[in-house]
Amino acid sequence: RKEVEQDPGPFNVPEGATVAFNCTYSNSASQSFFWYRQDCRKEPKLLMSVYSSGNEDGRFTAQLNRASQYISLLIRDSKLSDSATYLCVVNLKTGANNLFFGTGTRLTVIP
C-alpha cells in the first residue's frame, strides 16, 4: 500500500474556477504534511505546509483531517500560472525524516 495516494487527474479547469485536490495517507504516525508544486520538467517546490487548524495563503487553502488521514488543497480564482502538478507529501519524522510523495495531481487552467 502506498504511503500517500492522490487522484492523478488531469484536472482541466477554466480561469477563475475553484478546484480542490485531495489525498490520503496510510500511516497514522505521520507528523508533517505539505503540498508541493512541480512544473513540467522542473524540481518540486514547497507550496505550503498543512496544519490541522487549516492554513490559507492567498488563493490557496490547505486542510488536514487527522482522523480520516486526509489532506486537501483548494485553489480559488484559478490563474493560468497555476497549471502544474501538485504533490501531496507527508513526513513520518522517524529515522531519516524522508518525505513521502504522492504521484501528483496534474492541473491545467484553460483560458
Segment near another protein (CB under 8 A); pick from 10-18, 53-61, 70-78, 91-99: 91-99
Give the shortest CB-73-to-another protein separation in angstroms. 15
Give dist(CA 24, CA 72) in Å, integer. Answer: 9
For the chain, how many helices (H) and strands (E)? Answer: 0, 11
- Considering the rule CB under 8 A, would residue 48 count as an interface residue with another protein? no
How buried is residue 103: exposed, middle or buried, by Cβ count under 10 Å (0-12/13-18/19+)?
A: middle
- Considering the rule CB under 8 A, would residue 13 count as an interface residue with another protein? no
Could you list the residues that contact another protein (CB under 8 A)? 4, 8, 32, 34, 41-46, 49, 87, 91, 93, 95-104
